Structure 1
Amino acid sequence: MEDLVVSAEMKGADLSRLPVAVVGARSAQFLSGHGEFERLSLEDAAERISREPHLMVNRVMAARRLGLPPIRAFDALELYAFVRPARYCLPTIQGLMEALHLSLDIDSDEDKCLAVKAIAERLLVDMEAQTYAYRAGGAKVAMMMARAGWTWGPYALKAIETYPDHSREDGLLVWTALTEWEDGAPPPPPGDEPVEADESQSRLADLLGEGSETREGQQRYAAAATHAFRPREFKDGPNLQLLEAGTGTGKTLGYIAPASMWAQKNDGAVWLSTYTKNLQRQLDQELSKLYPDPKVKAKRAVIRKGRENYACLLNIEETLRAVMMRAGVNESKGMDRDKILMGLVVRWARYSRDGDMIGGDFPSWLGAHFGAGRIAGLTDRRGECLYSACAHFRKCFVEKTARKAKHADLVVANHALVVTQAATRGDDPDLPRRLVFDEGHHVFEAADSAFSAHLTGMEGAELRRWLRGKESGGTTRARGLKSRLEELISDDMDARKLLEEVLDAASLLPSDNWLGRVTGAAAMTRFETFLMLARAQVLARSDANEGPYGLEATTSEPIEGLVDAAHALGEALMQLAKPMGALAVLLVRRLDEDAEVLDSTSRGRLEASARSLKLRADTVMMWAQMAEGFGAPVPEQFVEWLMLDRAFGRERDMGLCRHFIDPTKPFADVVLENAHGVVITSATLRDKAQSDDAWRTADMRTGAQHLTIAPKRLGVPSPFDYAAQTKVLIVGDVNKHDPVQVASAYRSLFMASKGGALGLFTAISRLRSTYEQIVGPLESMDIPLYAQHVDPVDTATLVDIFRDELDSCLLGTDAVRDGVDVPGESLRLIVFDRVPWPRPTLLHRARRAAFGGRGYDEMLTRLKLAQAYGRLVRRAGDRGVFVMLDGQTPTRLLEALPEGVEIERVGLADAVKSICEFFPETGE
């Protein structure tokens, strides 16, 4: 190994001489290396920070506010990621202080500067301490990063110089430090002992602990949920329990109680499925009450996500090898961002709980700092896994988690994974038979995504890459089907012939630069010709060709040449699907015929390859059917349309889409009917405006209506006194079409509540416009403002920051509305810019016609309003105001709100006054 030599310059690294900068929305506060404070305008601050690296927190956020490209800085976040790998912290000054247990009074920007310096000092002191827990492997990583131009490199090496035998281990080779998983005997089938109501309630009491308040609604909920944990009554469907639980019921522990009891009694797993990663994390936290010992919890409770969420060790190795081959730095700022990123990644991978890069213990802000594409390239997002042929297979994060899940009691998954596994591995005995779908109002969307088909350029290009590998230059790994199968079928002439047929037929699929050829009318293949003509039809029939948003058009009355192009494409796709399917069948046959001679490694590779190949062959067959049938009537259960996708005004994709009008039908067929017991739960399963049959909405949105066996149903009301704790204001004198008026309204309302406000928007453009107009005035009142689609931070982290900072404000869209769980004063005001009617897409039009016309629109809107309103009160002492800046809000939509809540139609001035009176402590 190369010796670690600390240069004189590195030895002279002195933190006290570093200038500090805290960049706000309107100005920046500086602390010089001599201890002098100075405030500058953003323009002057940009000039100074461009000249000299400053100590700061979140250099990407600072650069955005300064209007600069990526800046070189001593970012305390990057130092934290190196010093405390895989340890969570919010990417803010306050977040770093809390993670480091620093108690400092922050009353001004000057205090913030001092706090940033104290954070950096603490981290460097920690790294030098004899008790430092993350020494292993750090020396070689720090040297690589220092030579790549990492600003903290000299400081890290100065600390590491004190380590004994620091050059003994190469921390870059992180896979050598990870433990291997071990295969045990496959678990026996679970038992079928029922969970009784009193057992569930007793387990609930244990989870709540002594002295906790008994909630009658939670007790009823826990008892009712046991229906899903009794032996199945009929073979045609599960014991299905629909449970609507008002906010504050305590539904999470209410279903954990019977689920954990069933798992314990029957030695089997229950899968707890959520829609958002945020709730997955919350569920994981709740399970600490069930398993307070972390070692026991690690065995009994497992988080499962799709393969694309986890770090791929082979991708890390090959990316690291590629960047290490480069000499020196590769950017004008004097640093190699790839090497710095890889240094932080290998530090994290060594200490990560489970290798989850999306929503796990990976620093979420690294994507904004170094590029989300760089992070994504370190996962297996394209299904290129070599399985047991990979040198790191026995240390693979995905394989380790999958094996733990087979022996766990509770598996915390997500709707997408559960539905996809059921659809693609229906005969797998390891698939869960006891399921809880939390956030059950999103089952419809999850099923819609899982059972749709998109014959588009991007999808075709991804398939070509999976089949043929990367066909042009670059460092990204993409081995292709031949390299994954060649060794397995070397002695099978039939399989080798089919493989060659597949690879030859795959030349039809879009290759590199397909988008430029399609948009430039220079199509080279039948696939590209179809895309070119599909794009032409969309542009010909759209009224917003120059806008930033995606476009769509019906398939009716196709333009000249489009039908012929589609049929030609269908024929070619069929020639690809047939050998793909035949090869998958042959691989499965080999598993049977060669069972006596195949070792376990080869069996695993054959089985995984056959499954992946069949899945993709089925997709290509569906594409072929769509293309061959183009121009004829679409099967009645589907809706099809042509689309042109855009991002920030630039075209990204185009093609033909097919969705089920009712995706809960395949969901019921594939997921529900094969399960033994299912709980579907949410705070908003029913549309309460349908007083004659409110459960009809729940049945329609969950697939229950397609089951032979009717579900059991229970609605548990919220224990909160919404009439006393909340108020609803409909503001009628703000022109919702005038962005200046809308922004002024948000500013006035946020100032009236003195922060603690969530602004919800139905369009990203209006969100951004409002942010730009109000961020400065709010900052002058010491009210921090954050925004989805503006701040370079992922949504879950934005919500965490909003929760942590008592008087901050947050602007967001649907993802924020559904993912916010902010108890206490941090959320005391919600403002909607306008009624969240469904987007008038062609897909929605088809569903509107099928599900009840205007009533369907109103049902969906009421459910959105109920979800948003439900964010206001999360515990007994919470109080809040809900404001709608849309005077045209129909009264019938407000039936979504709890009975007795005061609803006033007022002007903006009266709304401001009402908020001040509702929160007297915030008034002047």
Structure 2
Amino acid sequence: MDKQEQALELLEAAVTSMGGAMRTGQQEMVKHVVTALEDEEHLLVQAGTGTGKSMGYLIPALAHAQTSAKPVIVSTATLALQAQIVGRDVPRLLESLKGKLSRPMDVALLKGRSNYLCQYKLGGGYPDDEGTLFTMDEPAVPAGTTYSPLASEVLKLREWADRTDTGDRDELVPGVSDKAWKQVSVSAMECLGSQKCPMADECFSEMARARASEADVVITNHALLAVSAFEGLSVLPDFEVAIIDEAHELQDRVTSSVSGALSARTVMTAAGGAKRHCGVNVDEMVKASNRLEKSLTGIPTGLLEQGLREDMGIALNDIVEQARLILALSKPEANAPADGGRQTARSQMQAVMDDAIRMLESEERREVLYTTRPREFVEGRGYVEADDSQPATLNVAPLSVAGKLREGLFDGRTVVLTSATLAIGSQFDAVAGSLGLMGAGAPTWTGVDVGSPFDYPKQGILYVAKHLPKPGRQLAAETLDEIEDLIKASGGGALALFTSKRSAEEAASILRERLDVEILCQGEASMKSLVEQFAAERDTCLFGTMTLWQGVDVPGDSCRLVIIDKIPFPRPDDPISKARTEDVAKHGGNGFMQVSATHAAIRLAQGAGRLIRSINDRGVVAVLDSRMATARYGSFLKATLPPMWPTVDKKVITGVLERLKPEEEK
């Protein structure tokens, strides 16, 4: 029996045990993944909603791991999918395959160090910047004592620390704020290391890494993959096979993970830590910080198309020089006892120096420089963009992640990339190119679409509101009227996806006055509770932004209408997209199509994919952007969408939505 047949037997056993039915697309996916692993060739596999994608790659992964000395890495973009795989998919699969595998399989979860509670920091081994929190060695506090919200959260963490086996933040339900978690966790740079830390034997992060090193399959995330690929750090066990789920997110997640930022405030914080915990003189660093602040004041927010100005370069060179001096003066003696304060201060200073060097070398490294400013809260107006007169933060990001991913992830390994949205039409070149799989010297790969079990032309309709004006930055009155008409026709059950938080909130506020159905809006409660309420209440509507474009799985009548306010192009002022667009054009390509339109196409497909989630679902995707019907790139965007029946006739759509109303509401 060959490996394909063996894997298909495992699939059949699992499906039968779980009471499911065999799916053609899932079987095809299993066969393609097995072939890729056997031939050691990279694979891009698009698996539409309903395919059973996770089982389609987990079964080949387990089958391969049985005879491999190294673990298979499975990486996701989101914590939600990671939790689903670890908490539901893997346990069910292993239970269903008892007696079918040649040996028991060990599956481990591995996250970045800051996701785990640090025993040494909780026990007071690091300085407490808040000054009012608790350590493990403090006596029990009297009943009825009142604490600040932050102190109460840390007390909750202290109690949890006594009973957790993993120290994984996501196991703490309900959770705590980022500020509270920071009091009990450390970054990789802040960590004292296993040789220095007096609590190394009890370290949750080290225990997770030890479990991962012994596991057959390791579930991790794109951020750790990025660190491994870009910085060459051994954050993951040595591996030969990686399976990347949510692969359409890989480029953006990697870019975000390896970007750097520097502001005068960041430098001053590092200088303050060095003075307080290392006892070094930081007067010259303070002067360098002031020079940086002056150089970043008054310049427009956005891409620095001409690179660093002279005054910025001078300030950054001074910062690098002073950081090197401070790091040399603060280096601990070889046999010095563990000192969390010194380690934190030195890690902050090292990060400042590393980012400053990257910025000074950005041209040679082909990296993008841009400035940002935090939004400011103005009474009566909400959060608004900060004025250019305020000091900016200087940022650096890779112009492309393709080369580093090719070198650090694909070379010498076999990688399977999968998602419901990887191809534009039937072509995988756009995604493949962004990840380093195109061009001179690129490794060989195969792209395959295994389809979906859903009958999209019969189950869904794509409506483009061709009559509406071209959308602008503000939500148009005509768009609000259109949303009102559609929801009235459907009787609710609408998921409305917006490209900005402001538009979602404005639409929710106005339409609550006009409609008789309940409208929930992202940000008013936790995402989990909002989605649960939306799913449970058939006529409730949910309005939101990008998180909802990808994170909602609500089969049935509760989601019978998906509204998309406009094509989700990157913001015109997004510096990384702008730089990448200009770079493509500089090399003779069509920057708009290769960057902005491709980004929009993948996001649009993700949003439209919220509608049909089961074979019994029926509904409408309404795109309220006339450019989908009138612009030359409209057909390019439509090619990524599920093949629903298309129309621009509003009367047809309102009639369909009326018929989709529950019987008692007609």
Normalization by structure 1: what TM-score? Answer: 0.60
Aligned residue in 2 for 1:413? 220
Matched, 1:215 2:23: yes
Answer yes or no: is the 8 Å Cα contact 2:266–2:352 preserved in 1: no
Aligned residue in 1 for 2:134? 320
> Given the superposition, is the C-alpha separation of residues 579 and 321 from structure 1 closer, same or farther in structure 2, using an over 3 Å criterion?
closer
1:272 to 69, 74, 81: 74
Answer yes or no: is the 8 Å Cα contact 2:563–2:624 preserved in 1: yes
Aligned residue in 2 for 1:252? 54
SS for the counterpart of 1:718 is coil
Matched, 1:914 2:652: no
Deviation at 1:361, TM superposition (A): 2.8
The unaligned stretches of length 5 or more in structure 1 are: 1-193, 233-238, 472-479, 483-499, 510-523, 539-550, 591-597
SS for the counterpart of 2:67 is helix
> Given the superposition, is the C-alpha separation of residues 894 and 461 from structure 1 closer, same or farther in structure 2, using an over 3 Å criterion?
same
Counterparts of 1:859-878 in structure 2, within 5 Å, are 859-878=598-617
2:246 to 439, 449, 463: 439
Deviation at 1:298, TM superposition (A): 12
Counterpart-to-counterpart distance in 1, 2:577 and 2:597: 13
SS for the counterpart of 1:686 is coil
> Given the superposition, is the C-alpha separation of residues 386 and 223 from structure 1 closer, same or farther in structure 2, using an over 3 Å criterion?
same
2:111 to 298, 302, 305: 305
Greater C-alpha radius of gyration = 1
Aligned residue in 2 for 1:699? 432
> Given the superposition, is the C-alpha separation of residues 206 and 224 from structure 1 closer, same or farther in structure 2, using an over 3 Å criterion?
same
Deviation at 1:412, TM superposition (A): 1.4
Counterparts of 1:170-319 in structure 2, within 5 Å, are 196-210=3-17, 212-230=20-38, 232=40, 239-284=41-86, 285-292=88-95, 300-318=106-124, 319=133
Answer yes or no: is the 8 Å Cα contact 2:120–2:197 preserved in 1: yes
SS for the counterpart of 1:292 is helix
Aligned residue in 2 for 1:620? 353
Aligned Cα root-mean-square deviation (Å): 4.1
Counterpart-to-counterpart distance in 1, 2:540 and 2:97: 33
1:378 to 176, 180, 184: 184
Counterpart-to-counterpart distance in 2, 1:906 and 1:837: 25
Counterparts of 1:263-662 in structure 2, within 5 Å, are 263-284=65-86, 285-292=88-95, 300-318=106-124, 319-321=133-135, 336-338=148-150, 340-352=152-164, 354-357=166-169, 360-364=170-174, 366-367=175-176, 371-381=177-187, 383-388=189-194, 389-390=196-197, 392-426=199-233, 430-457=237-264, 459-460=266-267, 463-464=270-271, 468=274, 471=276, 504=281, 524-538=286-300, 551-554=301-304, 556=306, 563-577=310-324, 580=327, 617=350, 620-621=353-354, 623-624=356-357, 626-627=359-360, 634-635=363-364, 637-646=366-375, 648-649=383-384, 654-662=392-400
**Higher relative CO (CA 8 A, sep ≥ 6), structure 1 or 2?**
2
Deviation at 1:842, TM superposition (A): 2.9
2:490 to 753, 778, 781: 753
Answer yes or no: is the 8 Å Cα contact 1:353–1:361 preserved in 2: no
Counterpart-to-counterpart distance in 1, 2:233 and 2:348: 12
Counterpart-to-counterpart distance in 1, 2:104 and 2:181: 26
Q: Tell me the amino acid that sits aligned with residue 791 of structure 1.
A: E
Q: Tell me the amino acid that sits aligned with residue 619 of structure 2.
A: G
Deviation at 1:823, TM superposition (A): 2.9
Answer yes or no: is the 8 Å Cα contact 1:535–1:644 preserved in 2: no
SS for the counterpart of 2:255 is helix
Counterpart-to-counterpart distance in 2, 1:922 and 1:665: 58
> Given the superposition, is the C-alpha separation of residues 798 and 295 from structure 1 closer, same or farther in structure 2, using an over 3 Å criterion?
farther
Aligned length in residues = 625
Counterparts of 1:693-772 in structure 2, within 5 Å, are 694-705=427-438, 708-733=442-467, 736=471, 737-738=474-475, 740-772=477-509
Aligned residue in 2 for 1:905? 648
Deviation at 1:264, TM superposition (A): 1.9
Answer yes or no: is the 8 Å Cα contact 2:255–2:397 preserved in 1: yes
Deviation at 1:570, TM superposition (A): 1.1
Aligned residue in 2 for 1:3? none
Counterpart-to-counterpart distance in 2, 1:325 and 1:372: 25
Answer yes or no: is the 8 Å Cα contact 2:248–2:422 preserved in 1: yes
Aligned residue in 1 for 2:130? none
SS for the counterpart of 1:271 is strand
Give the stretch that moved more between structures: 255-264 or 243-252. Answer: 243-252
Q: What whole-Å deviation, never above 9, does each CA across 1:76-98 have from its counterpart, x for those lacking one? A: xxxxxxxxxxxxxxxxxxxxxxx
> Given the superposition, is the C-alpha separation of residues 428 and 390 from structure 1 closer, same or farther in structure 2, using an over 3 Å criterion?
closer
Deviation at 1:831, TM superposition (A): 0.7
Counterpart-to-counterpart distance in 1, 2:120 and 2:347: 24
> Given the superposition, is the C-alpha separation of residues 206 and 310 from structure 1 closer, same or farther in structure 2, using an over 3 Å criterion?
same
> Given the superposition, is the C-alpha separation of residues 530 and 807 from structure 1 closer, same or farther in structure 2, using an over 3 Å criterion?
same
Deviation at 1:427, TM superposition (A): 6.0
Matched, 1:855 2:593: yes
1:664 to 402, 406, 418: 402
Deviation at 1:402, TM superposition (A): 1.8
Counterpart-to-counterpart distance in 2, 1:581 and 1:666: 31
Percent sequence identity is 23
Q: Tell me the amino acid that sits aligned with residue 173 of structure 2.
A: P
Aligned residue in 2 for 1:496? none
Answer yes or no: is the 8 Å Cα contact 2:370–2:575 preserved in 1: yes
> Given the superposition, is the C-alpha separation of residues 339 and 554 from structure 1 closer, same or farther in structure 2, using an over 3 Å criterion?
closer
Deviation at 1:575, TM superposition (A): 4.6
Aligned residue in 2 for 1:845? 578
Answer yes or no: is the 8 Å Cα contact 1:382–1:462 preserved in 2: no
Matched, 1:836 2:568: yes
Counterpart-to-counterpart distance in 2, 1:206 and 1:283: 19
Answer yes or no: is the 8 Å Cα contact 2:316–2:356 preserved in 1: no
Q: Tell me the amino acid that sits aligned with residue 33 of structure 2.
A: A
> Given the superposition, is the C-alpha separation of residues 384 and 730 from structure 1 closer, same or farther in structure 2, using an over 3 Å criterion?
same
Aligned residue in 2 for 1:493? none
Counterpart-to-counterpart distance in 2, 1:577 and 1:738: 51
Counterpart-to-counterpart distance in 1, 2:529 and 2:211: 28
Answer yes or no: is the 8 Å Cα contact 2:320–2:353 preserved in 1: yes
Answer yes or no: is the 8 Å Cα contact 1:329–1:335 preserved in 2: no
Deviation at 1:883, TM superposition (A): 0.8
Answer yes or no: is the 8 Å Cα contact 2:291–2:315 preserved in 1: no
Q: What whole-Å deviation, never above 9, does each CA across 1:837-858 have from its counterpart, x for those lacking one? A: 2211232222113332232222
Answer yes or no: is the 8 Å Cα contact 1:227–1:241 preserved in 2: no
> Given the superposition, is the C-alpha separation of residues 716 and 557 from structure 1 closer, same or farther in structure 2, using an over 3 Å criterion?
closer
SS for the counterpart of 2:421 is coil
Normalization by structure 2: what TM-score? Answer: 0.82
1:881 to 620, 638, 661: 620
Matched, 1:681 2:418: yes
Answer yes or no: is the 8 Å Cα contact 1:554–1:641 preserved in 2: yes
Q: What whole-Å deviation, never above 9, does each CA across 1:99-126 have from its counterpart, x for those lacking one? A: xxxxxxxxxxxxxxxxxxxxxxxxxxxx
Aligned residue in 1 for 2:635? 892
Deviation at 1:621, TM superposition (A): 4.4
Deviation at 1:253, TM superposition (A): 0.4
Answer yes or no: is the 8 Å Cα contact 1:246–1:683 preserved in 2: yes
> Given the superposition, is the C-alpha separation of residues 884 and 353 from structure 1 closer, same or farther in structure 2, using an over 3 Å criterion?
farther
> Given the superposition, is the C-alpha separation of residues 911 and 800 from structure 1 closer, same or farther in structure 2, using an over 3 Å criterion?
same
Counterpart-to-counterpart distance in 1, 2:244 and 2:162: 33
Deviation at 1:441, TM superposition (A): 0.8
Answer yes or no: is the 8 Å Cα contact 1:242–1:711 preserved in 2: yes
Aligned residue in 2 for 1:38? none
SS for the counterpart of 1:268 is coil
